[in-house]
Structure 1
């Protein structure tokens, strides 16, 4: 071992000894803790002795009860240290209320035990198929926790949980309250809540007054433990479970979240956080720090589908502590609906808890479809009629692409008689048929994929709408025709059994009508197309709508309603465009004029024809070998 290694190890040993000496409790603290433990042992021995001789005498029983109370007090002092007095009390329910919500708090733990959302209801589905409205509460589960771990020195448990303390009311009015848990040393831990009319926001602050002398040395963070059992609030539990999770926002990064479809844990260490949100499909409870949290660990746990709770969310949040004599940490709580404008005005990207999707699809929903829908809703009262008008607007905007697709189909239809001639001429030679077909496409300037590309370009809007309807609270419990909730599936016919593969135990009429109109549209739109080269496609285009019925049958009625309207408008556009707008005689003239133009083969066409000729040559050789 060289000299530098010996010096390094020696310095490390000295530092460890110095740290141990610094962190060790003082002699007075050790004696105090030992005296407390000795007192507990003595009282316990006295209790055991009295119980042995007490038998049934009243005086002895009373003496035992008195000693038992003393023992409980000593144990309380050992468990809670300077907060021992606050560990004993009677739980009271305290209320804050404005025009939008009613907040119930408990003096035990000083936490919110439930929030009544006044302008929204929960639908209870009865056995006869009818529904009744019941009040909608958030944070109401008795198993929930919202407590701070205060690292008090020299306690066997390592600290005091505020969930076990009884808070005194220091100040209170109808919309604000200050709660304090005092210490025997003159300090206190304080939680204050304040609300205002017209808002779901709660101004929430904590204060540590004169606690620096009782908090363990070297501690610069206080841990907040938030355990939230999400309630089932919507009829479509599968949807709600899929869109419920923990979101969190790093100070210098985009919001992130735990998995929505399985158990997941995300740990943020060494990176400050702006907010943490526990989000249902249409409601959320968010905790926002004015100056940021130090980090945290976030967990989602899937619960049994047959249970009373939807999902378990656990957040361990680290709050910075500067060890000053009087220290506050300012926060805000949002407890309410996922209304985009409200969350957007809260700032810091809180609106991203609404599951509109990410990337281009989320942007389309947030900044194009949503504003258009809100504009239409400002003067149209029915959400279903708004969907109809929205569908018409989308189809009107996309009509140039639709026209291009229909025009390409009309050119293919004009070539069909010529194609039939090629098929008849080379009916025994498939390779030659394909070569002559490609040659005809090139001669007449027809792109067989021209009718597909406009549909591909529309797909981002379709994918965006797939997320828009089940994420927008505007469709929640909005009725239209036979559907009583456009954010969930419509039940036109309830089945006495359940069909697998996600179909469910019901028939959605919107989905059924969508499938029927899709088949009609497919037939009308492809009856002039040549499917001889690939006969399987002819049948697949009719099988696909039937297969997708199982997917859409349990989807949001708002989307299937949109798809039905979309099909009806597509059929109308196709009939009108092909019969009254497109001039078929003009198309024939264009085809003949293009045929007369000199052609220059493009690289792709040359390679394709070469590949076909090579394939044809191989087949010819195989035929000759078979004849031999």
Structure 2
């Protein structure tokens, strides 16, 4: 889990660094050259304009539609990630027993603990790194979408609901982004895991701070993406989890 947290931190840092490395001042056009602009940024920019035209020049609705399309595109991977998180949650009692059994800190005992933990993962069909692949895929998409928003000139001077899309929303949208991030993290949190509990509070704060400085169009993407994930997580694990809890309560 510590490795997963390190990977998340590294990817977030990489996204921030890459955001500064690329020229976001240069408008994105069909004539833009390079693999990044031609195959990542421009297709998303084209979709932004295409759906905005369909919705009577409404770029807010365009962003919502594209966000849903992107989430549907990676839905199989996200389902795998959600099921992996639930599987990790289910085996926590057994992992705790192993930690108690091999509580000594000497190297030989810790190696034995790692071996039996991996055997438990294999027996129960759990892949502790399954949640990393969707993250690796999402980061380039998020960065490309950020560039598409920043470099699509047509989006300038457009607004949606109460906020301008090409400028940061000072407080309301960042708060919504932080709250939905917290709910999403909470629903996917592995029980009694200190590292995940730290992430539960760090991620919403980070998203809130980023949202205060990024264009509101990008924050809108985060919010819609979070709502999609909340609904997805509930329908995959929520009803079953509630049923299990009710069954456990009945046995007591």
Please confirm whether the aligned pair reaches a TM-score higher than 0.5, indicating the same fold. Answer: yes
Instruction: State the shift of 1:567 in Å.
Output: 0.6
SS of the residue aligned with 1:521?
A: helix
What is the aligned partner in structure 2 of residue 398 from structure 1?
Answer: 74
The RMSD of aligned alpha carbons is 3.1
What is the aligned partner in structure 1 of residue 152 from structure 2?
Answer: 472
* Largest Rg, 1 or 2: 1
Instruction: State the shift of 1:536 in Å.
Output: 4.3
What is the aligned partner in structure 2 of residue 518 from structure 1?
Answer: 181
Instruction: State the shift of 1:574 in Å.
Output: 0.8
Instruction: State the shift of 1:477 in Å.
Output: 0.9
- Contact 2:174-2:209 within 8 A present in 1 as well: no
- Contact 1:401-1:454 within 8 A present in 2 as well: yes
The answer for unaligned runs of 5 or more in structure 1 is: 1-241, 244-258, 261-279, 283-337, 353-357, 491-506, 586-628
**Whole-angstrom CA distance in 1 between matches of 2:90 and 2:190:** 13
- Contact 2:181-2:207 within 8 A present in 1 as well: no
What is the aligned partner in structure 1 of residue 167 from structure 2?
Answer: 488
**Whole-angstrom CA distance in 2 between matches of 1:544 and 1:362:** 31
Which residue, 37, 40, 52 being the options, matches 1:377? Answer: 52
**Whole-angstrom CA distance in 1 between matches of 2:116 and 2:234:** 31
What is the aligned partner in structure 2 of residue 553 from structure 1?
Answer: 212
**Whole-angstrom CA distance in 2 between matches of 1:440 and 1:527:** 16
SS of the residue aligned with 2:54?
A: coil
- Tell me whether 1:462 sits opposite 2:125 in the alignment: no
SS of the residue aligned with 1:477?
A: coil
**Whole-angstrom CA distance in 2 between matches of 1:459 and 1:568:** 18
**Whole-angstrom CA distance in 1 between matches of 2:184 and 2:217:** 21
TM normalised by structure 2 equals: 0.74
- Contact 1:387-1:558 within 8 A present in 2 as well: yes
- Contact 2:190-2:196 within 8 A present in 1 as well: no
**Whole-angstrom CA distance in 2 between matches of 1:366 and 1:578:** 36
What is the aligned partner in structure 1 of residue 89 from structure 2?
Answer: 413
What per-residue deviation string (whole Å, max 9, x for no partner) do you get for residues 60-106 of structure 1? xxxxxxxxxxxxxxxxxxxxxxxxxxxxxxxxxxxxxxxxxxxxxxx
**Whole-angstrom CA distance in 2 between matches of 1:445 and 1:477:** 51
Instruction: State the shift of 1:444 in Å.
Output: 2.9
- Contact 1:469-1:558 within 8 A present in 2 as well: yes
* 1:35-46 superposed matches below 5 A: none
- Tell me whether 1:538 sits opposite 2:217 in the alignment: no
Which residue, 200, 203, 223 being the options, matches 1:564? Answer: 223
Instruction: State the shift of 1:399 in Å.
Output: 0.5
What is the aligned partner in structure 1 of residue 8 from structure 2?
Answer: none
What per-residue deviation string (whole Å, max 9, x for no partner) do you get for residues 546-579 of structure 1? 1343333121110011111111111111111223
* 1:197-216 superposed matches below 5 A: none
**Whole-angstrom CA distance in 2 between matches of 1:459 and 1:339:** 20
**Whole-angstrom CA distance in 2 between matches of 1:581 and 1:374:** 41
What per-residue deviation string (whole Å, max 9, x for no partner) do you get for residues 142-187 of structure 1? xxxxxxxxxxxxxxxxxxxxxxxxxxxxxxxxxxxxxxxxxxxxxx
What is the aligned partner in structure 1 of residue 236 from structure 2?
Answer: 577
Instruction: State the shift of 1:400 in Å.
Output: 0.8
Q: Structure 1 339/394 Cα, relative in aligned 2: closer, same or farther at 3 Å?
A: closer
- Tell me whether 1:452 sits opposite 2:135 in the alignment: no
- Tell me whether 1:425 sits opposite 2:101 in the alignment: yes
What is the aligned partner in structure 2 of residue 332 from structure 1?
Answer: none
- Contact 1:508-1:554 within 8 A present in 2 as well: no
What is the aligned partner in structure 2 of residue 366 from structure 1?
Answer: 42
**Whole-angstrom CA distance in 2 between matches of 1:511 and 1:410:** 28
Kindly indicate which of the two structures has a greater share of residues assigned to strand.
1
**Whole-angstrom CA distance in 1 between matches of 2:201 and 2:218:** 21
Aligned length: 219
Q: Structure 1 361/541 Cα, relative in aligned 2: closer, same or farther at 3 Å?
A: farther
**Whole-angstrom CA distance in 1 between matches of 2:28 and 2:135:** 32
The answer for unaligned runs of 5 or more in structure 2 is: 1-18, 245-252
- Contact 1:470-1:488 within 8 A present in 2 as well: no
Q: Structure 1 406/544 Cα, relative in aligned 2: closer, same or farther at 3 Å?
A: closer
* 1:208-357 superposed matches below 5 A: 281=25, 340=29, 344=30, 349=31, 351=32
Instruction: State the shift of 1:460 in Å.
Output: 1.5
Q: Structure 1 574/464 Cα, relative in aligned 2: closer, same or farther at 3 Å?
A: same
- Contact 1:487-1:557 within 8 A present in 2 as well: yes
TM normalised by structure 1 equals: 0.32
